[in-house]
Structures are given as structure tokens and as C-alpha cells.
């Protein structure tokens, strides 16, 4: 009959690597069947229970260390627990045999003045404090720790941005800066693809996939999982995108994230468009607006992201011919095909605001009155409202011609988007009716751009070429797909304010040369930097006041008071 014994060590701090090693060492002692060594959080007590340790009745708080041993008899269990101090001491002596190690960030900075980066992986409740100290020393921060509050994240990132510094994280698992992996990172060759990711494993999967297919990485910048939420507003993502847009070694960019908040997506995609480099956006679980819109490409799934990035890595720079950008700010889309209208809404919604429509899809707003447009509007004229006792607009152009004149008379309208659908059953010559109306609208408004999606085949009774010529002859820009037409529209709409936001840019030189970094937290991250040939210093960090919460709060009060 086996016997279980436990021990509680109040307010003792050990880092998680030490706890894991201690647990393994205990489990390997003679007569021991299983061991558990954890900080006594409720979750960890439940995990102990699942492993057959009844920890429910043990009085131990979240910041207490709980050691449990199950052995073949009571003696073996007691003997195992009696060795805990010796096992810990053995670990300490190994650490002591290493080179001199600073016990504070300040002395680490003195020891490695060329360091530009600080890795922080201490427990969550201490992490913001260490990160703040690193920023005060003018260093970028790789913040691996989780359980950091959103308020702390915002404060750290705003502070960093003001100084031209970057905070990756919290809960940032992976980055590759100038070839050196921080945190968890695969070994990949250097190359021309720059990555920005709110997901550690996502970044690993794509960088590894690109390497395995022969491509290489310029920089891989982590953000932490919450950077693209509305509360943070993509502060780090926008800094990183600006950096990679300026970086001459980065020829194409990959963004990896869960779906960003709507407003953040709009700013991020606008910045990505303006980068002038091909950008692959991989937003997991997000309905992509199109396969591509100009230099923006949308992938789904990590494997697809690798394929798409590979196909773009060697592609020619995207065509960024600027439009006329008149002062008339709004787009009006007048569609006969419901699916084309929906497709236009989906493609425009992350980039154009506010967007109204009557198609009831995506995040566009419902148009209150289908008879009058508001701001940017996409209208499906084949919707039931318009076709009661009336022919479909593919057969009867009357309604659309009237609406075209109405929109062209609105001085706030800068672009009108139409579809023209050919084929059996449709109007025998739609361009003959639409072209004169287009020419008339443009004659009165030299600043009005008209864009047409022409859907048809060379066999269609209307004649594809003839229809295209009539529409183009009247001054419309004619495209065969919604995506191409929307890309043209976006080039002609006045761009939102963007770019220079008054904050200092991230210095490119901090991403050049041999990486020099200070590590505070998990020793394995220091080992990894060392192995990779980076200059690194490990701080022998201990929580303030030995992790004792009451004492910590007292210390904080004393620091705060004058």
C-alpha cells in the first residue's frame, strides 16, 4: 500500500525550470512512485488531484510551494521529502559555477552596455515591473510572461512608442531578431521575408515552413496575443510594420494573427497597403475580403500562408499607381448582381468607413433608406425591394440609369462602381444604355471616377469585347473581377490620414549586427541565446521581498511616498 506525504513552503519563489527539475528528481528517488512540485494555485491543486494526489485539504496559498510525494511506503516518502533541500542546493551550486551573474537589470546593463533587448520571463505579477525597468533603461522588451493585465500592456506599449522602443508581448512566445531566436524559435536561414505575428506557434509554423521550402527570414517580430485588440490598438504591430516597410532587407511582409478588432484591422491594412511591399495577411478564423487587393494578399491556415508568401517572395513589386484622389470622398456602388455586391462589401469593409449597404452581409451598416445613399454605399438593385412587379436590373437598366444620375449629381461622390452582367436571358445590350449615362456623368464632373465590373464570355450574345469598348469609350475603368475593380476604387478614394504619427520610428540599426540581450527569468532562454552566438547576460533574478505579497505591497508604498 503506497503512502503519500506533502510539504508546504510558504512564500518561497523558484522559477518553473527548477520546480520541474525538482519534481523529476524526486520522482526518480528510490521507492518513489510519483511526485508533484507546484505553486499551490487552485488550478495546480486540481491538476495534482487528476494525477492522484489529494491536495484539496492541504492549507496552501497560491504563492506557497507545495511538494507531494507518493512512495511505496511511508519511509520512502519521508526520505524523498528530506532530500528536497539537498536537491535544490545541488542546482544552486551548478548555477554558482557559471560566470559572474548580475542580480539586477541595472548591473546587467552596465555589464552589457551594447544590449538593445531585454527578455522578460518572470512570473506574470512581476513582469510589468521588470519590463518597465527595461524601458527606463532604453531597451526593447521581449515579454514572454503571461498573466499581465491589459492596463499594464497598454501603459508599457505607450511608453515604449514614445521612446522609439518596441514591446513584444506580453505572452509573446517567439521572435527572430537579426537571425537570433528569442523564446521559442526555429532555426531558419536569413532572407527577404519579414514577419509580424500575434501568435507564437503561428510564427514558428510559418518561419519553419518557409525555411523548409528554401526561403529565408529578415525579421520575425512577435506582438503578444492582445496587441490587435481594440484596447491596445495594434501599437506594436504598427511600429513593426513601419519598420519592415523601411527595412531594405525585407522585400515582402507576412502578418499572422487571430482576427484583429475592426478598427485595428482598418489601420493595419491601410498601413500595409501604403508599405508598397507585397503583404500576406493571415488572420485565423477571419473571412478574408478577397484573395488579393493590390499588394494585400489574404491567406488562410498556416500552410497556405507559407505557400502564398513563397509565391510572392520573388514576385515583382506591386503596382501602386496612384489615383487622382479628388476631394470628393465617397464611393457609391450600383449593382445588378447580388453576389458581386456582397463581394464588394466584403472587400471594402476593412478598408473603407463608414460603409453602408442593403446586402445584409459582413460588417457594413444597413442603409436606412435604399433610395438614398449615405457615405460609402454599396447597393444591390436586384434586391426584393426593387423587383416587385418590376424586371430585374439585369434586364431593365431604367432604375440604375436614374440612380447613376442621382449619385453623379452628389458632389460628395468621387467614385461610382457598377457591374455589367452579360449572357443569355440578360439585357441584349446593356452598354448601349449605360455608356451614354456614364459619359454624361463624367462630362459634368471631371473629378468623378467610374469603375465597371464586366462579367461575361466571348460567346455571350452581347459580345464581350464590344461591351467593354463601349464602357471604356465612355470613360469607365473596366475590370473582369470584383477584386480588381475594388483595388482600382481604393486607389481613387482619398486616403485616410496615416503614416507619420509624431512618434519616433524604431531604429533599423537595433535590428542589425550581432544580437546583444539581457535575460530576466527562464534560464533556458539565456542558454539558447548563448548557443546561438548572441551576446547575452542572465540576471539572477529574485522577486522583490522574496515574493512575499505583504512585504511587496509595503515596499511599493515606501517607494511611492516622497
Distance CA 534, CA 545 (A): 32
Q: Which is nearer to a copy of itself, 193 or 506 (CB)?
A: 193
105-144 footprint of a copy of itself as x/- string (CB under 8 A): ------------------x---------------------
Taking a C-beta distance cutoff of 8 angstroms, is the pair 351, 361 a contact? no
Distance CA(516)–CA(402), nearest Å, equals 67
Which residues lie closer than 8 Å to 22 by C-beta, 6 or more apart?
14, 37, 67, 84, 87, 88, 91
The minimum distance between CB 371 and a copy of itself, in angstroms, equals 5
N-to-C CA span, the chain = 62
One of 228, 328, 426, 434 touching a copy of itself (CB under 8 A):
426
Between CA 331 and CA 309 the distance in angstroms is: 31
425 binds a copy of itself (CB under 8 A): yes
* Stretch of 128-136, 179-187, 231-239, 510-518 contacting a copy of itself, by CB under 8 A: 179-187
In the DSSP assignment, the letter for residue 3 is E
Cα atoms in the 13 Å half-sphere on the side-chain side of 79: 12
C-alpha grid cell for residue 361? 452581409
Q: How far is the CB of 54 from a copy of itself (least distance, A)?
A: 14
Helix (H, G, I), strand (E, B) or coil at 217: strand
- Applying CB under 8 A, among 60, 70, 115, 173 the residue interacting with a copy of itself is 173
Residue from 222, 278, 288, 543 binding a copy of itself (CB under 8 A): 288
Output 168 or 245, the one with its CB closest to a copy of itself. 168
Applying the rule CB under 8 A, the residues between 531 and 550 that interact with a copy of itself are: 531-532
Alpha carbon distances (Å) from 191 to 23, 203, 412, 507, 534? 42, 15, 46, 20, 19
Interface map 48-87 toward a copy of itself (x if CB under 8 A): --xx----------x-------------------------
Pick the piece of the chain touching a copy of itself (CB under 8 A) from 333-341, 350-358, 410-418, 509-517.
333-341
Cβ partners under 8 Å of residue 542, min gap 6: 13, 103
- Tell me how far, at minimum, the Cβ of 200 lies from a copy of itself, in Å: 7
| CB-CB contact of 431 with 420 (8 Å) | yes
**In the complex, least distance from residue 85 CB atom to a copy of itself, rounded to whole angstroms:** 20
> Which is nearer to a copy of itself, 511 or 526 (by Cβ)?
526
Q: Single out the residue of 131, 254, 355, 422 in contact with a copy of itself (rule: CB under 8 A).
A: 422
Judged by CB under 8 A, does residue 483 bind a copy of itself?
A: yes
The phi, psi pair for 4, rounded to 5°, reads: -115, 135
> Residue from 368, 395, 409, 443 that binds a copy of itself (CB under 8 A)?
395
Amino acid at each position: 500500500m503506497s503512502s503519500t506525504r506533502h510539504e508546504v513552503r510558504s512564500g518561497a519563489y523558484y522559477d518553473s525550470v527548477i520546480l520541474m527539475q525538482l519534481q523529476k528528481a524526486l520522482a526518480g528517488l528510490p521507492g518513489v512512485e510519483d511526485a508533484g512540485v507546484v505553486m499551490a494555485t487552485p488550478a495546480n491543486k486540481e491538476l495534482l488531484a487528476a494525477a492522484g494526489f489529494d491536495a484539496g485539504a492541504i492549507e496552501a496559498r497560491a504563492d506557497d510551494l507545495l511538494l507531494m510525494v507518493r512512495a511505496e511506503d511511508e519511509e520512502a516518502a519521508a526520505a524523498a521529502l528530506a532530500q528536497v533541500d539537498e536537491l535544490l542546493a545541488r542546482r544552486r551550486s551548478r548555477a554558482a559555477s557559471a560566470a559572474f551573474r548580475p542580480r539586477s537589470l541595472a548591473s546587467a546593463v552596465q555589464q552589457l552596455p551594447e544590449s538593445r533587448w531585454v527578455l522578460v520571463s518572470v512570473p506574470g505579477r512581476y513582469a510589468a515591473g521588470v519590463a518597465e525597468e527595461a524601458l527606463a533603461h532604453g531597451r526593447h522588451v521581449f515579454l514572454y510572461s503571461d498573466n499581465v493585465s491589459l492596463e499594464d500592456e497598454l501603459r508599457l506599449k505607450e511608453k515604449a512608442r514614445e521612446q522609439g522602443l518596441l514591446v513584444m508581448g506580453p505572452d509573446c512566445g517567439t521572435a527572430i531578431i537579426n537571425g537570433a531566436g528569442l523564446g521559442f524559435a526555429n532555426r531558419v536561414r536569413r532572407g527577404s521575408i519579414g514577419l509580424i505575428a500575434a501568435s507564437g506557434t503561428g510564427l514558428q509554423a510559418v518561419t519553419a515552413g518557409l525555411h523548409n521550402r528554401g526561403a529565408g527570414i529578415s525579421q520575425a517580430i512577435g506582438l503578444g496575443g492582445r496587441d490587435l485588440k481594440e484596447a491596445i490598438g495594434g501599437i506594436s504591430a504598427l511600429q513593426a510594420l513601419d519598420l519592415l516597410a523601411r527595412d531594405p532587407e525585407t522585400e515582402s511582409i507576412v502578418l499572422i494573427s487571430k482576427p484583429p478588432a475592426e478598427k485595428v484591422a482598418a489601420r493595419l491594412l491601410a498601413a500595409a497597403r501604403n508599405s508598397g511591399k507585397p503583404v500576406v495577411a493571415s488572420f485565423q478564423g477571419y473571412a478574408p475580403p478577397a484573395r488579393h487587393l493590390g499588394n494585400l494578399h489574404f491567406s488562410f491556415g498556416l500552410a497556405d500562408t507559407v505557400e502564398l508568401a513563397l509565391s510572392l517572395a520573388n514576385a515583382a513589386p506591386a503596382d501602386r499607381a496612384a489615383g487622382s484622389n479628388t476631394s470628393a470622398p465617397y464611393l457609391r456602388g450600383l449593382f445588378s448582381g447580388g453576389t458581386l455586391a456582397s463581394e464588394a462589401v466584403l472587400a471594402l469593409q476593412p478598408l473603407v468607413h463608414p460603409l453602408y449597404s442593403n446586402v445584409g452581409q459582413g460588417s457594413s451598416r444597413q442603409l436606412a433608406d435604399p433610395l438614398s445613399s449615405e457615405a460609402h454605399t454599396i447597393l444591390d438593385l436586384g434586391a426584393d425591394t426593387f423587383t416587385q412587379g418590376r424586371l430585374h436590373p439585369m434586364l431593365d437598366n431604367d432604375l440604375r440609369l436614374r440612380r447613376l444620375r442621382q449619385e453623379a449629381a452628389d458632389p460628395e461622390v468621387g467614385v461610382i462602381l457598377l457591374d455589367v452582367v452579360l449572357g443569355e436571358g440578360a439585357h441584349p445590350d446593356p452598354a448601349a444604355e449605360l455608356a451614354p449615362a456614364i459619359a454624361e456623368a463624367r462630362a459634368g464632373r471631371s473629378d468623378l471616377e467610374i469603375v465597371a465590373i464586366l462579367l461575361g464570355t466571348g460567346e455571350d450574345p452581347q459580345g464581350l469585347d464590344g461591351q467593354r469598348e463601349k464602357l471604356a469609350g465612355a470613360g469607365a475603368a473596366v475590370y473582369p473581377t470584383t477584386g480588381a475593380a475594388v483595388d482600382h476604387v481604393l486607389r481613387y478614394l482619398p486616403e485616410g490620414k496615416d503614416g507619420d504619427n509624431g512618434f519616433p520610428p524604431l531604429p533599423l540599426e537595433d535590428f542589425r549586427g550581432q544580437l546583444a540581450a539581457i535575460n530576466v527569468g527562464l534560464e533556458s532562454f539565456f542558454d539558447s541565446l548563448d548557443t546561438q552566438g548572441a551576446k547575452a547576460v542572465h540576471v539572477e533574478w529574485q522577486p522583490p521581498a522574496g515574493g512575499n505579497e505583504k512585504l511587496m505591497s509595503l515596499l511599493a508604498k515606501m517607494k511611492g511616498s516622497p
